[in-house]
Amino acid sequence: MKIVEYLRNTDKTLFSFEVLPPMKGQSIQGLFNTLDQLMEFRPKFVNVTYHREEFVYKKRPDGLLERKTIRKRPGTVGICAAILHRYGVEPVPHLICGGFTKEETENALIDLHYLGIHNILVLRGDPIPTEKVFTPEPGGHRYAVELIEQVVNMNHGIYLEEEIENAVPTDFCIGVAGYPEKHYEAPNLQCDLRYLKMKVDKGADYIVTQMFFDNRKYFEFVEKCRAMGIHVPIVPGLKPLTSKRQLTMIPRVFHVELPEDLVKEVEKCETDAQVKEVGVEWCIAQSKELMQHKVPCLHYYSMSKADSVRKVAEALF
């Protein structure tokens, strides 16, 4: 079933979450352990992130440096197939521009289509650590809107090889990211919203937001989206704080602001276990207010760890 159908045809707030693929060399069992703990809350879908390649330089016997390409968290497509097979829950693989040519993107979409996976979240993706700015793959897409266009073309039976006749169309439901506090590269929120509307106009079916810790940011974002003419469902993304170091890490990495009341409570904590309790209580309060406003779904960034998200879900679902 398409995610947008779940979101448009519900009279109560749904539950969903995002997981990371295991690091290369690790077993999928650890991920299953996380999923097993959260399945009793009947998630309608599970997002699986995609991680592009990185570059490292290794010293050769002759003393020269050789650039090696590594992918630390492979397996997104396989994990999605496993989730669908093991749990019967809709998996939503992330599809990114970085690291893919258009041909590789098409082949990945064909694989997903063959597996019966018909929901994707389309993203540009972040620069790799060795890049100051995002650099597309030669022959790939620079912007998420271009990737959306390719998916929509395939949904209409249009593939890259023009000579293919009577091609069977795919049937992908397309999600995109929204940023209540704007994307860090956008000059202002209004400009960011114009690009978001462009994605919706090109064929995006729903929006999942970046994490936020002040619900006013979400409500204002939705209001501005509607005023801009964006009328697709907008799913709020939430994350319980789990450690004191996240007070500086989250604003630096995700470019979001933490409310002063939350910061003060975390600063009182002497251990990360206490921070987790604060994070869970704050997230529960956020979630309850959002549910009162009848949001279609609450989407939790679990980082593949179930304990805090489970405690939140126990209080709500």
Q: Show which residues are catalytic.
A: 18
- Maximum alpha-carbon separation in the chain: 67
C-alpha span between 141 and 231 (Å, rounded): 26
Closest listed residue to residue 159, CA positions, set 171, 150, 149, 146:
150
Q: Is the dihedral of CA 224, 230, 236, 237 positive or negative?
A: negative
Backbone angles phi, psi at 269, to 5 degrees: -75, 140
Closest listed residue to residue 239, CA positions, set 3, 13, 18:
18
C-alpha span between 81 and 75 (Å, rounded): 10
As a three-state string, the secondary structure of 108-147 is: HHHHHHHCCCCEEEEECCCCCCCCCCCCCCCCCCCCHHHH
Partner residues linked to 207 by β-bridges: 176, 234
C-alpha span between 214 and 286 (Å, rounded): 8
